Structures are given as C-alpha cells and as structure tokens.
Structure 1
Amino acid sequence: MSQSNMFILMVVIPLILSQSTRGKDCVCELQNSDPAFPENKLKNVEFTSSKCIGNITSEKMTEIDRLVLGLQRRIWQLLDNVSMLEKEDNGNLYASVSLRIIELELVEIQDLLDKLNRTTNNYQLLSGETAAELQDMEETMVELEKFDHTQVMVKERENQRVKRDLERCKDVLNTTTPAPTLSPGRCGLGRMVNVSGPRTYSLTVYGTSYTFGAWGRDAKPASGGENKYWLVVLSSSNVFGNFIRQYSSMSTITLGIGPTDTYISSSNPTTNTIQGPNMVMYSNALYYNCYNTYSVCQFNMTTRSVSTVALPNDTGFNSKYPFAHLGATYAYTDMDFATDESGVYVIYATTSNFGNVMISKVETSNPPVLNQTWSTSLHKRTVTNTFMVCGVLYATRYLDKETEEIFYSYDTKTNEERYDLKIHIKKMQTNIKYMNYNPSDNLLYVYSDAYIVTYETMFQEVH
C-alpha cells in the first residue's frame, strides 16, 4: 500500500477471443481513493466496551440495595431493642445488658453507614468515568460510520428499532394481566379490561385559567335529578372553592348555559369550604375535604347545611400526602373521594401507615360516619388518581403526556392487592386532576387541565 493510501488491484483476465489472441492476458488497474479503514480504533472501542462490562456488573449494581436493606433491618431491630429497654428501665441488671446491646448495634449501624457512603462515592466515580468512556466510544463510532458508504449500519439500526417495537407490542399483549374478577354477586360486571375514549371532551365556561376542579353526576340522584351534572372549579388559588354549579343536561354543561349555583359559604376560603379538587356527589350531598382540616365535609344541597366527620388525627392534609408523579405534585390532593355501587369512600394516607393509602367507607347519614377501613401497601405519592368499582380500588399513574395507566387494584372483599394491571387511558391534556367512577352509567368522569372528559369502562363477563 502506498503512502498516499492508494492501492492498486491487479486483475488478470484470460482472453480467449480467437486463434491469434490465444494465450495472452489482459491486465486492469483498479484504484481506491478512500483512506484505509482505521482498524486500531475499532479494536480500542471493543476493548473499552469489554472493560465497561467488566466494571459494571449486576452484582455491583445491587450492592447498594443490599446495604440499604441491611441498614433498614438493623434500624428496625434497634427500635425493637429500644422499646424493650424502655420496658426494663427499672435500674436492674437486665436494663444494663439491653443498653450494652443497643450500644453495639449503634456501632454496627455506623459501620454500615460508612460502607454505604464509601460504596456510593465509588459508584459516583465509576459513573463519571464510564460516562466519559461512553462518550469517547460514541464519537469514535460516528467517525467509523463514515466508511459505511452503503449505509448498512443505518439500515441495521432501523431494523433493530422495528424489532424492538414489535417485541414491546408483543410483550404488552402477552403479559397484560387482567384486573380482578368481580363475581356476579358483586355488581355482575366481570373484570375490567379496558378504558375507551374519551367519549366526551369539552372546555368549561371558565376557560383554561382554572386547571383544578371536579365534575360529574350524582351517583345516587334524587327523583328528577337523574340528568343533572355538577361542576366545581377551584377559583381561589386553584386550591379552594365555595360553590357548586349545576346543569340540567350534558349539552348545557358542554355549552355552559343555564347553570344554577349553590353556595357553601359567601367567602372563600373559610371554614367548611372546599379544599382540593377531589369530591363526589351522592344522594344530593357533596363530600369533600373540609378547609384546613383532616375532616370529611358533607354539604346538603337542599338544606345548605354542613356536617363533618374527622379522619384519624395523623391523616395527611394541606399537601402532606398528595397525589404526585416524578414531574409534578398535585397540590391539596391528600384526600380523594370515590363512589361505587355501594356508596361513598374516602382515600387518604396516614403517618402510622407510612404514607400508604388508606380506604374508609363513609356512611352517608347526617352527620356522616366512618365505617370499615382498609390499609394498603400503596404509597400515595406514587399515585396520580384513584377510583372505586364494586368495592375494588383502582389507582393510576402518569406514564407520559399522552397516557395514564391503571396499574394497581385493591379488593376490599378479599384484601387482594395487585400491582400488575396495565390498562391505559388516552389523555387529551397532560394532567388528570380528578377522576371518579359513576355506577349509573359506568363512566369515568375526569377533570384534566381545565377540560371535562368522560371515558367508558369496559368489562368482560366471566362464565
């Protein structure tokens, strides 16, 4: 090969044309003007890649998890031993022994913390080095790709992308686990299999300025009120509301004509006015979080009177345990209210349950009374909304701007919890601030960034 990176390919072609040319050869010269392929750079990328794979192993990646789990268990054990020490605190020998055990456990916990800090620092250093090496490899591969004149790599990447998309679709179809089966004695709906829609989608008369609110139909309407729709927009700081607006039909609420307003209070916010966007209408009464308290308010639409019932005193309120996702927190959504075929529920979180979701049945007497309560392992800040169907709590989470996912269920009859549901909801706006199921029409009523939306819940009969 010449210094100018040119090479000459000698091709010898025997020619058998005639008697006179027999035995003679034709020599052709083919010249390639491209530079030589830098094979050493490709070998360096392969070496660096192997080095990264050796440095980052699944065993190393789980080391922090093991340390954190071990530290958590030691702390729980320490709490138990401290509790035992408090019971033995009568100045005898046993209390001294327990105190010595606690001292030794504190030393071991400190050792675990030191090891965790060292491991975390090592991981941060390794992460920085690996990121730099990956950047170098990416730049080298971009340079090497210039030699791919026929775009083989480009087409190969496209093929791999298509294969991944196909596999992902196949996995969703094959691994989607059906929701809990509801026996015929429990509403006769079967299992929830899909949420379709939106069926209706409309901006309220308030425009896009008020992004927090709620709407729907009375889940147990009085005679003559079956077709009415109610709307509450949090008009004070997107947090508080003091009146309910009612419409005579779906068409009038969509067009924003002929409303009737019922005021809870003349001022806003004040005692007993609405706090947060989560509320429901049941039997001509609105249930909601009372202003600045951990109590349930029941506002009678006819008498315009308010009755309350307090939740446990360690219940989160004022945005202590709101609905949230990685990108946002939905302020003042500590308490959610839901209706199903049997009545009204309140969903909340308590300190004693470590911020996990609690469900309490609300008896709709006057004043209201809390009935049976269920504890779950679902942390409330991992959830964006909840609703109830036939005694089953469903929870949603934010996937992206276009999709919300029903991923969790808790059956209050069997106490069965599941995190493997994959029922998707197509969103028209980015954030769903309110969601509730109405048993009279099997629709989900949604308030999404100032828009009112409905979705149809679909069930599959079990034979």
Structure 2
Amino acid sequence: MMLRGITLLWALVSLTQQAPSQDKCVCEFENSQNIFPREKLSTVEEGASKCNSDITPQQTLDLEILLLGLKRRLPQLEGDVSILEKEDDGDLYGVVSLQVVENELLEIRQLLDRLNSTSRRYQRLTVDATKQLEDLKEEMEEMEMFDTLQVVKGQQDNQRLKRDLDQCRHDLQPSIHPTRRPERADCPHGDFKNISGPRVYTAGEYPGSYIYGAWGQDPKPEVGKEDWYWVVMLTSGNKFSNYVRRYSSLSSLVIGKSVPGNTLIHTANPTTNTIQGPNAVLYGEALYYNCYNQDAVCRFNLTAKTVINLKLPPGTRYNSKSNFCHLDECYHFTDMDLMTDESGVWVVYTTTQDHGNIVLSKMTDGEELRLTQTWHTSVYKQGVTNTFMICGVLYATRYVDKTIEEIFYSFDTMTGVERFDIGVFITKMTPNIYSLNYSPVDQMLHVYSNAKILSYKVIFS
C-alpha cells in the first residue's frame, strides 16, 4: 500500500514538471528618464574640493607680508643713502656705509624677486581657478535637469524670498532715514561707505588658543611706538586676563614674535582690576577695559603700571548680565565695549533703567577718568553682536550667518539721528566676531574672531 502511494506521488511530480505553465508573465521595464550621472557629480565634488584647497587665506597673507616688508625696507634704504651722502668722508666710513647700502639693496632685490614670483604664481592660479569654476558651473547647470522634484529650485526661491523679507524688515524700521548724513567737521575722511575684504588674516602667536581677545594700534602712541600693535588674549577660561602683549610691528604680530613682550597688570588672574571680557582698547599708552567683577571701567597705565577705575551709572549691568548676542549664542562678559575713534575713548553698556537698550558715553583719556557726555539709544543690546565708533558715530553689527556679519545700525552723536538701514556687510573668516574696534591711525577695523586676528579697510566717500 505504501509502495503504491509513493509511485502515484512520483508520477504526479513528474507530470507537474513536464506540464508547461499557462500563468507565467514576463514584463519589460524601460526607464524613460536619463540615468543620473553619478560619475560627473563625483568629478564636480572633486573639482570644488580642489578649488578650496588651492585658494586659501594664507596666500593673501603671504602677499601682504611681502608688501609690508618692502614698504618698511624702502624708507630705511632711503635714510641710509641720505646719511651716506651727507657724511661720506671718502675713507673707511664711506666704504662701510656703502657696504651697508649694497647689502640692503641686495635684500630688497631678493624681496622683489619673491614678490614677482609669488604674484605670477597667484595670477596663474587665478586664471586656472576661474576656468575650473566656469566648468563646474556648466556641469552643475546640466545636472539641474535631474532635479525633477524641483528641490534645488525651491531652495533658491526660498533664499530669494528670505533676502526680500530681510530688506522689507529694514525698510519698516520706525526711524527717520535721511538720504545722506551731512559730512562732519571733525571727520576728515568723508562719509563711511563700505568695508573691504580682510587685509590681514593670521592665527597669531598661539594658533587655535585663546578664543576671546582683542587687538589693534594705539591711536595716541608715545614717540617711537607709532608702529606698535597690542593684543589682549583672555587666558583664563576665555573670560579673564592679567596682561597686554606688545609687538613692535605688524610683521612681528603676523609671524608671532612679541617684542617687547607682556606688560603685567597683576600676577593673579583674575583678581581686582584685571581684565574681564574681550572688549579692551589701548589709547595714550593706557589700556581701557571692564574691571574684573565690577560695573566699572579700568584704565591701566602701561608706563607707570598703575590702575584707576571709573564706576558707571547706577543700574549698569555687568558680570555677563547683558552681553552681545545672536540667536544661537551670547558672547560672555561683553556687557561693556570700549572703543576708540578720532576724538578719544568711548564705552557702550546698558542699564536697568534703559531696559536693555544701548547706552553710549564719551570718556576722558587722561589720569582723571570720568564720563563727559552720555547718549541713550533705542537699539536693544542683546540683539547686537558688536559696536564701534567712527568720527563720533556709533555703528552696531548683527549676525547674519557663519560667513556674514551686517553693520545695520548707526547713532550720530552730533545730530542724535538713529538709522537701521546701513546695510554694510562684513565677510567673516570664522563664525563669531568677539571684538571689533576702529583704528583712526589707518582707518582699519581690527577684528578678533575665534582666536584669529583680522583687519578690514574702512572705505569712505
């Protein structure tokens, strides 16, 4: 019985295998769209990466250093030639002086050769990079046809709408906007118009260290210190410091060789009358800054090594209670901002009575430290990222994104007029600008940004 069942089952299986299936269906799939060019996308990405690696801020800095060296050497050569002409005795002195001049000429010739070589190399690089960018643009435009869901187009439309919305907000500010600010008698440069791209960009003496700080030139230097620069780095928790570091030239600052070095305020850090926050400034061989743990401005005389302080009006906010801020971050201990312009030293702060709006005061710059005049504005301090003065006009900045900062506001201390439509943009090399100060010596904006040292040229009409 079992054998018979097995025999029937085997016959059924054999029959099933031999019978052709009537339900089998074959479908052919044909893609009507072009195949996405993944290899071309990889080529574009490699080209963009190569452009980023070929063109860096360091190359601009290389040219800046060479030009600066040439600028300093030529007057020195001129002086030595003048001395040789006046004092040549036709003997040993003349021979030695002539040898000095010959050596200087040789070094200047070498500097010029390096400058020419560097310029030619960067010119070739510019031409090559321009051609690469044009090719990349064409390839990206070709690949846009694969964006069938219009994602890229939608993003571009959103960016245009955002720009239009920002412009609309600026136009609706409830302030009187004069078409042109009258030229000031105390401003020899004309009207403030724009900001150049970065002129100096360096990691300084301690690359990557000391995120917060400030730097610049003394607008009222002692004789012999006209070319000196100063740097204050917050060395204790990115909040406090107890010294100011000096450099005998911009070249020394760029290469990180400090001469004469540090001038110490106190051996402890922090302690009474040491530096709190990044917004310090040097004027008349004295450092002005927010005193540690006080609602006061300190003035440290670098020659006498003495400190005097000025208590600000009652209700002044301090100890990181009213910082410069943007939506993602506040810059700690920026309650006060010390600034210089053509007329002297200024301080920005806020009080409880002003409900967080910026208060601006002019200060004396001598041993008798006091406020001479005060103005109250309508711009909220925590909606601002930095302030600076030019010819008695206060300017305020705000964070746009990681690469752009906008100078959006001004307050004219002569007329009392506020404007919210300045619309001058600063191209940033790092996301946050922790200190920003105008130098009337060379009309530069000195910026300390995420441990980087930068400067921008102010453009006047």
Normalising by structure 1, report the TM-score: 0.63
Task: Tell me if the contact between 1:280 and 1:288 (Cα under 8 Å) persists in the aligned partners.
Answer: yes
Whether 2:387 is the aligned partner of 1:382: answer no
Task: Write out aligned runs for 1:76-115 (5 A).
Answer: none
Partner of 1:272: 273
Task: Tell me if the contact between 2:289 and 2:299 (Cα under 8 Å) persists in the aligned partners.
Answer: yes
Whether 2:212 is the aligned partner of 1:216: answer no
Kindly tell me: are residues 179 and 399 of structure 1, through their superposed partners in 2, closer, same or farther at Cα, counting changes over 3 Å?
farther
Kindly tell me: are residues 278 and 406 of structure 1, through their superposed partners in 2, closer, same or farther at Cα, counting changes over 3 Å?
same
The residue type paired with residue 424 of structure 2 is: I
In terms of mean alpha carbon deviation, does 448-457 or 189-198 score higher? 189-198
Whether 2:235 is the aligned partner of 1:235: answer yes
Kindly tell me: are residues 216 and 152 of structure 1, through their superposed partners in 2, closer, same or farther at Cα, counting changes over 3 Å?
closer
Kindly tell me: are residues 179 and 408 of structure 1, through their superposed partners in 2, closer, same or farther at Cα, counting changes over 3 Å?
farther
Q: How far did 1:172 drift?
A: 9.2
Q: How far did 1:221 drift?
A: 1.1
Task: Tell me if the contact between 1:208 and 1:450 (Cα under 8 Å) persists in the aligned partners.
Answer: yes
CA distance in 1, matches of 2:291, 2:197: 33
Q: How far did 1:445 drift?
A: 0.2
Task: Tell me if the contact between 2:342 and 2:391 (Cα under 8 Å) persists in the aligned partners.
Answer: yes
Q: How far did 1:182 drift?
A: 4.9
Task: Tell me if the contact between 2:232 and 2:241 (Cα under 8 Å) persists in the aligned partners.
Answer: yes
Aligned residue for 1:244, secondary structure, equals strand
Partner of 1:248: 248
CA distance in 1, matches of 2:179, 2:232: 31
Kindly provide the CA deviation profile for residues 367-403 of structure 1, in whole angstroms up to 9, marking residues without a partner as x: 3111100000111100100000010000001110000
Partner of 2:349: 348
CA distance in 2, matches of 1:178, 1:451: 37
Aligned residue for 1:252, secondary structure, equals helix
The residue type paired with residue 231 of structure 2 is: L
Aligned residue for 1:253, secondary structure, equals helix
Task: Tell me if the contact between 1:210 and 1:233 (Cα under 8 Å) persists in the aligned partners.
Answer: yes
Aligned residue for 2:289, secondary structure, equals strand
Aligned residue for 1:354, secondary structure, equals coil
Aligned residue for 1:297, secondary structure, equals strand
Aligned residue for 2:252, secondary structure, equals helix
Kindly tell me: are residues 224 and 163 of structure 1, through their superposed partners in 2, closer, same or farther at Cα, counting changes over 3 Å?
same
Partner of 1:47: none
Aligned residue for 2:253, secondary structure, equals helix
Task: Tell me if the contact between 1:308 and 1:367 (Cα under 8 Å) persists in the aligned partners.
Answer: no
Percent of pairs with identical residues: 46
Kindly tell me: are residues 217 and 165 of structure 1, through their superposed partners in 2, closer, same or farther at Cα, counting changes over 3 Å?
same
Kindly provide the CA deviation profile for residues 109-146 of structure 1, in whole angstroms up to 9, marking residues without a partner as x: xxxxxxxxxxxxxxxxxxxxxxxxxxxxxxxxxxxxxx
Partner of 1:199: 199
Q: How far did 1:338 drift?
A: 0.6
Q: How far did 1:219 drift?
A: 1.4
Q: How far did 1:310 drift?
A: 0.8
Partner of 2:395: 394
Partner of 1:96: none
Partner of 1:450: 451
Partner of 2:414: 413
Task: Write out aligned runs for 1:163-178 (5 A).
Answer: none
CA distance in 2, matches of 1:167, 1:313: 45
CA distance in 2, matches of 1:267, 1:162: 54
Aligned residue for 2:211, secondary structure, equals coil
Kindly tell me: are residues 454 and 153 of structure 1, through their superposed partners in 2, closer, same or farther at Cα, counting changes over 3 Å?
closer
CA distance in 1, matches of 2:229, 2:188: 26
CA distance in 2, matches of 1:234, 1:194: 30
Kindly tell me: are residues 157 and 324 of structure 1, through their superposed partners in 2, closer, same or farther at Cα, counting changes over 3 Å?
closer
CA distance in 2, matches of 1:294, 1:179: 38
Aligned residue for 1:209, secondary structure, equals coil
Q: How far did 1:179 drift?
A: 8.7
Q: How far did 1:194 drift?
A: 1.3
CA distance in 1, matches of 2:182, 2:343: 14
CA distance in 2, matches of 1:169, 1:398: 14
Kindly provide the CA deviation profile for residues 329-385 of structure 1, in whole angstroms up to 9, marking residues without a partner as x: 100000001101100000000000101100000111213111100000111100100
Task: Tell me if the contact between 1:180 and 1:192 (Cα under 8 Å) persists in the aligned partners.
Answer: no
Partner of 2:181: 181
Kindly tell me: are residues 180 and 348 of structure 1, through their superposed partners in 2, closer, same or farther at Cα, counting changes over 3 Å?
farther
Partner of 1:154: 148
Kindly provide the CA deviation profile for residues 395-427 of structure 1, in whole angstroms up to 9, marking residues without a partner as x: 001110000000110000111011112110000
Kindly tell me: are residues 189 and 182 of structure 1, through their superposed partners in 2, closer, same or farther at Cα, counting changes over 3 Å?
farther
Kindly tell me: are residues 194 and 170 of structure 1, through their superposed partners in 2, closer, same or farther at Cα, counting changes over 3 Å?
farther
Partner of 2:295: 294
Q: How far did 1:207 drift?
A: 2.2
Kindly provide the CA deviation profile for residues 285-316 of structure 1, in whole angstroms up to 9, marking residues without a partner as x: 00001110011101111101011111012101
CA distance in 1, matches of 2:370, 2:278: 22
Task: Tell me if the contact between 1:178 and 1:421 (Cα under 8 Å) persists in the aligned partners.
Answer: no
Aligned residue for 2:254, secondary structure, equals helix
Aligned residue for 1:414, secondary structure, equals coil
Whether 2:440 is the aligned partner of 1:439: answer yes
Please, what is the CA RMSD of the aligned residues? 2.8
The residue type paired with residue 418 of structure 1 is: R
Structure 2: give runs of 5+ residues left out of the alignment.
1-28, 31-144, 172-176
Task: Tell me if the contact between 1:182 and 1:390 (Cα under 8 Å) persists in the aligned partners.
Answer: no
Kindly provide the CA deviation profile for residues 319-338 of structure 1, in whole angstroms up to 9, marking residues without a partner as x: 01110111001000000011
Kindly tell me: are residues 390 and 169 of structure 1, through their superposed partners in 2, closer, same or farther at Cα, counting changes over 3 Å?
same
The residue type paired with residue 254 of structure 1 is: V
CA distance in 1, matches of 2:270, 2:151: 58
Q: How far did 1:154 drift?
A: 3.4
Q: In the comparison of the two structures, how many residue pairs are matched?
A: 314
Q: How far did 1:458 drift?
A: 0.8
Kindly provide the CA deviation profile for residues 195-225 of structure 1, in whole angstroms up to 9, marking residues without a partner as x: 1111110002122131001110001112111
CA distance in 1, matches of 2:411, 2:258: 40
The residue type paired with residue 443 of structure 1 is: M
Aligned residue for 2:382, secondary structure, equals helix
Task: Write out aligned runs for 1:422-433 (5 A).
Answer: 422-433=423-434
The residue type paired with residue 303 of structure 1 is: A
Task: Tell me if the contact between 2:245 and 2:258 (Cα under 8 Å) persists in the aligned partners.
Answer: no
Partner of 1:283: 284
CA distance in 1, matches of 2:268, 2:354: 35
Task: Tell me if the contact between 2:291 and 2:297 (Cα under 8 Å) persists in the aligned partners.
Answer: yes
